């Protein structure tokens, strides 16, 4: 076929250029209401394999073998398309593929030369077939090795696992866990690491490896986006866990309340006798638990927007508490933040569940109903539940003043909730912190109409909060402070006996503290030592 003096073959019909041209043609000459597009355009081969692995009714009838199509529609088991299809599906279907393909292709050493072509080893070239990239193949191999825990590997995985190149991007809590997990299962493989604490040029290492395990705290910087555009596989500990977990997952997300909600669900299921694990920021790092999880296990996973951003699989039960503007220093905008959160249900099927409830207790009860847990067990578990640290945590009464630590409040809506919960007895509010571009206009009226008399404010957002209060007509007395010790001293001086002093910052902590826990711990320390 000749297109604009260029000779093209059937592959042209799969290109984005053809899609755009034909869409324009169909709208102009066929029907203005027609929208021609590829449903799979935004998905790579791994994502397609991940989704297809759940469509069991097609597993025995799908084919992608050019040689076999001429022999009655079979898998020939000897070509690059057969080996690629087997490889890319192996992490998700495992030994089921033997029945589909008629034999175990990964144990066929006669396919070694094709394997080398797929991996594009020195002197080898990618087969002239519709197969994936070497980066996708390396990642599929990685998942395949991890799936077997490095034991009794198929011959081709055993022979070529050393060709997988991996970089851990970010060596924080989750990055260290990923590194230990990979070293345990791939002891002979050299795994690269990159972190800004180690080198200011840490992003240069993105060029060295094909598979990049990105820690959630690192945003999609321009260098990371470029690496992805160039074909690098950007994955995460969360994605690996979802791909390898034998049990079923209950995912919990939301701007606020996800930790408490996840903990409540965990306690209810545990009380009902289920084999259940709690992972995420409040539980163990997920990868550390994989070896303990069986097909009968349930995992309650607290999921942040960072972890959800590049997740290509959704949990069996998805729970959303609420969504407000947050982490706008990490996400491009609020729409980008919401889009990340939506991944918790984006890949669900009709057999999965989605629960939306801003109240943690109600959400936990809704999950319990799916399991048909008796009401008395649910109520007892909820009654015995102890609030988590830094979440409206009652410290105690000192010099007649009641102190509450709500350091996890990092957005205005969380502080508004705390004000509503504790009521008019709040006389002193300590607020403010790191500025992430959040609008504080909604907080002003809540403070202005409350019984608060003294407002103790940290930089940087303290001034924004005060402007919102003034705009709402608030008559509170304002005090600017630069340390927690100074804030607590003022709180004791300005709060009457029988009243409440509440730390509920409505902002992140990073300008003055290590994190929200450090901020809350300092608050408790100075209250107790005053």
Phi, psi of 418 (to 5 degrees): -65, -40
Is residue 143 within 8 A of residue 244, CB to CB? The reply is: yes
Q: Which residues contact 242 (CB under 8 A, 6 or more apart)?
A: 249, 311, 313, 315
Give me the DSSP letters along 295-361.
TT-EEEEE--HHHHTT-----SEEEE----S--TTTSSSHHHHHHHHHHHHHT--TTSEEEE-S-HH
Domain annotation covers residue 300: yes
CA dist 341 and 301 (Å) reads 14
| C-alpha distances in Å from residue 35, one per residue of 11, 16, 30, 38 | 21, 14, 11, 10
Selected residue with higher pLDDT from 35 and 315: 315
Is residue 139 within 8 A of residue 235, CB to CB? The reply is: yes
Q: What is the DSSP letter of 68?
A: H
Q: What is the DSSP letter of 192?
A: E
- Residue-level pLDDT at 8: 67
Selected residue with higher pLDDT from 286 and 282: 286
- Residue-level pLDDT at 1: 56
| C-alpha distances in Å from residue 239, one per residue of 213, 231, 530 | 9, 18, 46
Phi-psi map region of 518: left, alpha, beta (phi>0 left; psi -120 to 50 alpha): alpha
**Do 444 and 491 reside in the same domain of the chain?**
yes
Domain annotation covers residue 313: yes
Closest Cα partner for 348 from 54, 93, 43?
A: 54
Q: What element of type H or E holds 486?
A: helix 484-494
Domain annotation covers residue 362: yes
Domain stops at, among 117, 147, 163: 163
pLDDT score of 16 more than 90: no
Domain stops at, among 213, 235, 257: 235
Compute the average pLDDT of residues 379-384.
96
Sheet-wide strand order for 500-503: 393-398, 401-405, 500-503, 426-431, 454-457, 477-480
Is residue 234 within 8 A of residue 227, CB to CB? The reply is: yes
- Mean pLDDT, the chain, rounded, equals 93
Q: Which residues contact 320 (CB under 8 A, 6 or more apart)?
A: 253, 254, 341, 344, 345, 354, 355, 356, 357
Closest Cα partner for 328 from 438, 413, 408?
A: 438
**Do 516 and 399 reside in the same domain of the chain?**
yes
CA dist 266 and 250 (Å) reads 10
Domain annotation covers residue 388: no
Beta strands in 175-309 (DSSP E): 191-194, 211-214, 233-235, 248-253, 276-279, 298-302
Angle made by CA atoms 413, 414, 416, in degrees to the nearest 5: 65
Is residue 221 within 8 A of residue 286, CB to CB? The reply is: no
Q: Which residues contact 194 (CB under 8 A, 6 or more apart)?
A: 167, 168, 169, 170, 202, 203, 205, 206
**Do 85 and 154 reside in the same domain of the chain?**
yes
**Do 24 and 57 reside in the same domain of the chain?**
no
Selected residue with higher pLDDT from 217 and 13: 217
Mean pLDDT lowest for which of 326-335, 365-374, 459-468?
Answer: 326-335
CA dist 169 and 386 (Å) reads 36
User: In which domain, by residue range, is 314 found?
Assistant: 243-383
pLDDT score of 2 more than 70: no
**Do 348 and 279 reside in the same domain of the chain?**
yes
**Do 322 and 194 reside in the same domain of the chain?**
no
pLDDT score of 12 more than 90: no
**Do 214 and 204 reside in the same domain of the chain?**
yes
Domain annotation covers residue 219: yes
**Do 62 and 115 reside in the same domain of the chain?**
yes
pLDDT score of 41 more than 60: yes
The enclosing domain of 181 has a CATH number of 3.40.50.720
- Residue-level pLDDT at 6: 66
Question: HSE (CB half, 13 Å, CA atoms) of 416?
Answer: 16
Q: Which residues contact 46 (CB under 8 A, 6 or more apart)?
A: 88, 132, 136, 139, 140, 233, 312
pTM of the model: 0.86
- CB burial readout 381-399, b (16+ within 10 A) else e: bbeebeeebbbbbebeeee
**Do 197 and 256 reside in the same domain of the chain?**
no
pLDDT score of 476 more than 60: yes
pLDDT tens string 56-96: 999 999 998 988 888 888 999 999 999 999 999 999 999 99
Domain stops at, among 105, 131, 163: 163
Domain annotation covers residue 121: yes
Closest Cα partner for 232 from 133, 375, 130, 118?
A: 133
Task: Report the share of the chain in percent with pLDDT over 70.
Answer: 98
For residue 10, give both structure tokens: 């059937």
427 exposure class (CB count in 10 Å sphere: 0-12, 13-18, 19+):
buried
Q: Whose structure tokens read 């902590």?
A: 509
Q: What is the DSSP letter of 525?
A: H
pLDDT score of 456 more than 80: yes
**Do 64 and 21 reside in the same domain of the chain?**
no
Closest Cα partner for 381 from 271, 276, 259?
A: 271
Give me the DSSP letters along 106-136.
GG-GGGHHHHHHHTT-TT----SSS---HHH
**Do 522 and 415 reside in the same domain of the chain?**
yes
Query: Domain tally for the chain?
Result: 5
Compute the average pLDDT of residues 157-169.
96
CA dist 182 and 192 (Å) reads 11
Domain annotation covers residue 204: yes
SS3 content of the chain, % helix, strand, coil (to 5): 45, 15, 40
> Helices in 348-459 by DSSP H: which ranges?
360-370, 375-383, 412-422, 443-448
In the three-class reduction of DSSP (H, G, I as helix; E, B as strand; rest coil), residue 159 is classed as helix
**Do 407 and 367 reside in the same domain of the chain?**
no
CA dist 72 and 403 (Å) reads 77
Compute the average pLDDT of residues 88-106.
95
């Amino acid at each position: 076929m000749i297109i604009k003096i260029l000779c093209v073959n059937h592959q042209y019909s799969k290109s984005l250029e053809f899609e755009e041209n034909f869409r324009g043609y169909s709208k102009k000459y066929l029907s203005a209401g027609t929208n021609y597009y590829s449903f799979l355009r935004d998905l790579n081969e791994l994502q397609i394999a991940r989704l297809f692995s759940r469509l069991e009714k097609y597993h025995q009838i799908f084919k992608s073998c050019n040689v076999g199509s001429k022999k009655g529609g079979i898998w020939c088991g000897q070509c690059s398309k057969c080996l690629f299809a087997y490889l890319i599906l192996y992490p998700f279907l495992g030994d089921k593929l033997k029945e589909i393909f008629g034999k175990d292709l990964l144990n066929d050493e006669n396919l070694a030369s094709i394997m080398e072509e797929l991996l594009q080893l020195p002197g080898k070239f990618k087969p002239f077939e519709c197969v994936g990239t070497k980066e996708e193949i390396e990642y599929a191999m990685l998942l395949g090795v991890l799936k077997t825990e490095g034991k009794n590997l198929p011959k081709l995985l055993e022979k070529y696992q050393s060709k997988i190149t991996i970089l851990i991007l970010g060596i924080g809590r989750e990055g260290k866990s990923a590194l230990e997990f990979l070293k345990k299962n791939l002891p002979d493989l050299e795994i690269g690491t990159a972190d800004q604490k180690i080198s200011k040029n840490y992003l240069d290492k993105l060029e060295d490896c094909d598979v990049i395990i990105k820690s959630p705290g690192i945003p999609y910087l321009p260098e990371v986006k470029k690496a992805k555009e160039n074909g690098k596989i950007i994955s995460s500990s969360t994605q690996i866990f979802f791909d390898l977990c034998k049990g079923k997952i209950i995912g919990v997300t939301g701007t606020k309340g996800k930790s408490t909600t996840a903990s409540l669900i965990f306690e209810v299921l545990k009380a009902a006798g289920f084999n259940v694990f709690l992972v995420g920021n409040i539980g163990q790092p997920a990868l550390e638990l994989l070896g303990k999880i069986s097909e009968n296990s349930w995992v309650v996973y607290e999921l942040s927007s960072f972890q959800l951003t590049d997740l290509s699989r959704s949990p069996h039960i998805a729970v959303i508490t609420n969504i407000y503007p947050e982490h706008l220093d990490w996400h491009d905008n609020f729409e980008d933040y919401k889009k990340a959160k939506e991944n918790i249900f984006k890949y669900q099927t009709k057999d999965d569940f989605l629960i939306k409830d801003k109240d943690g207790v109600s959400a936990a009860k809704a999950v319990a109903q799916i399991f048909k847990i008796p009401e008395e067990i649910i109520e007892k578990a909820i009654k015995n539940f102890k609030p988590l640290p830094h979440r409206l945590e009652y410290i105690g009464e000192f010099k007649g003043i009641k102190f509450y630590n709500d350091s996890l409040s990092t957005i205005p809506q969380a502080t508004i909730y705390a004000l509503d919960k504790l009521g008019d007895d709040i006389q002193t509010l300590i607020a403010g912190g790191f500025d992430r571009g959040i609008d504080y206009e909604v907080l002003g009226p809540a403070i202005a109409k409350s019984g608060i008399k003294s407002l103790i404010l940290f930089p940087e957002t303290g001034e924004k909060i005060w402007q919102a209060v003034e705009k709402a007509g608030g008559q509170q007395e304002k005090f600017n402070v630069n340390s927690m010790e100074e804030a607590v001293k003022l709180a004791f001086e300005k709060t009457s006996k029988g009243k409440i002093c509440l730390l509920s910052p409505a902002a992140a902590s990073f300008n003055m503290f290590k994190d929200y826990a450090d901020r809350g711990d300092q608050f408790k320390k100075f209250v107790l030592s005053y």
